[in-house]
Homo-oligomer: A and B are copies of this chain.
Amino acid sequence: MEQNMEKILKKVSDKTIKIGVIGLGYVGLPLAVTFARKGICVLGFEKSEKKAQLVNAATNYIGDIEDDVLVQVVAKDKSLTATTDFSRIKECDAVIICVPTPLDQFKKPDMSFIENSCIDIGRNMKHGTFVSLESTTYPTTTENFMKPILERESGMKENNGFWLCFSPERVDPGNKDYKTENTPKVVGSSGVEAQQIAMAIYGIAIQNLYPVSSPRVAEMVKILENTYRLINISMINELALLAGKMKIDIWEVIEAAKSKPYGFQAFYPGPGVGGHCIPLDPFYLEYIAKNFNFDLTMIEAAGHINNLMPYRMMNKISYALNSHGKALSVSTILFLGVAYKPDIDDPRESPALLVMEEVLKKGAKVLYHDPYIKRVQDDHGRLYEGQELTDDLISSVDCVVFTTNHACFDVERIVAKAKLVVDTRNAVKFVQIQNNKVYKL
């Protein structure tokens, strides 16, 4: 492999390396574009014909990519091409996997995307290929799950035919300061050669790399980062519910706690935990922990709180209506915001949808408005059509619920027109917790 290593390192230094990126979603496409902008020839692999066509037409569908940058690399430089033909993996010197790792409905990791990628790579890669996984997964995946599949399908041996690495994506959709290129990247490979190659390849595109001693350490890093967030959001959600009962404004408490100049980081409550990382990642760890006869009580407690949040939010809405003498079953509820966080257009794992479901179950009529999302489908296939936010609509419904605090909401107008407001996001700042019109979390 020493010769192969020389070869690939030379290709890095003279920029003739060809990199394949599997999965052109919110992780893979920005990564592919970041390499392509450095003049590297990138082949993007996509199972979705539609996505591949969009990329090849330089039509952008990822919020964190600037449209003209995509036009530049696809149409002008021609450094990025998308394909649905996975046999073209054989053209690549390096393949980076950026596929989803969802949980199934029993919160068990669905490893099929990684598995299929490994089968595609194993069957098609040439001798001396560098393979890296970026998808969040449980520690030991790279060494114990990927490696056997790659070896079986390729007939080659790790470190003697191909190299293996784990380097977790840290994409934070909508973050204005940190994009793929300037977010430090943790890199952990199986073996010294693999790590040297990994550092060289990622070093082309990423400003700061943080090498660690093994793939499993890198896998654990990502889980720790998101478990930290899950635990803290869950804690503040629970404290918010208690504070509500005690007539304490939890948002005032959080702002005041932030005045402590050390040892505190603020998290904010909401109707649940959303997005495609925080609600999922810790459960990968829980999955593998079971294999070690180990219970993760903090993650379990967090899961417990978050499972109940949509139900508790439904209760909150029901109680607010009750104080106006109305039953949920004969009310129309307007939800404002179905994106999982402010100012983005992504409704995946959005807690708003779960609250809407609970409210619907109790017989209410459910409407929503989101300036970034025109229609949305929940996990059960229910399709909702977004409403225009007219004064008439606001004043006609029985209750308006803030579920996402998009900056563009004209909160003052909405509160003025509405009969009743339930605010799960502190959209309505500086209003008394219960003035009989606005109810906070």
Contact = CB atoms under 8 A, between A and B. Distances in A.
Nearest to A292: B245
A245 B297 CA distance: 16
Interface stretch (A219-227, A396-404, A420-428): A219-227
Interface stretch (A29-37, A55-63, A301-309): A301-309
A318 to B, nearest CB: 18
A212 interface: yes
Interface of A: 139-140, 170, 172, 175, 177-178, 183-184, 186, 208, 210, 212-214, 216-218, 220-221, 224-225, 227-229, 231-232, 234-235, 238-239, 241-243, 245-250, 252-254, 256-257, 259-265, 285, 288-289, 292, 294, 296-298, 300-302, 304-305
B292 A246 contact: yes
A286 B301 CA distance: 15
22 contacts: A140-B246, A172-B263, A212-B253, A213-B252, A220-B246, A220-B248, A221-B256, A224-B253, A224-B254, A225-B260, A228-B264, A231-B231, A234-B298, A238-B298, A239-B285, A242-B292, A242-B294, A245-B292, A297-B304, A297-B305, A298-B305, A301-B301
Nearest to A208: B259
B186 A217 contact: no
A398 to B, nearest CB: 28
Query: Which label, helix, strand, loop or mixed, suits the secondary structure of the A interface?
Result: helix
Given A212-B252, A217-B248, 11 more contacts: A177-B261, A208-B259, A210-B256, A221-B256, A221-B257, A224-B254, A225-B264, A228-B235, A228-B264, A238-B298, A246-B292
A294 B245 contact: yes
Contact of A265 (B175, B241, B265): B265
A383 B265 CA distance: 39
How many copies of this chain? 2
A247 to B, nearest CB: 8
A248 B298 contact: no
A184 B225 CA distance: 29
Closest 3 CB pairs of A and B: A301-B301, A210-B259, A184-B259
A161 to B, nearest CB: 26
Nearest to A304: B297
Contacts of A218: 256
Given A217-B253, A264-B225, A238 B184 contact: no
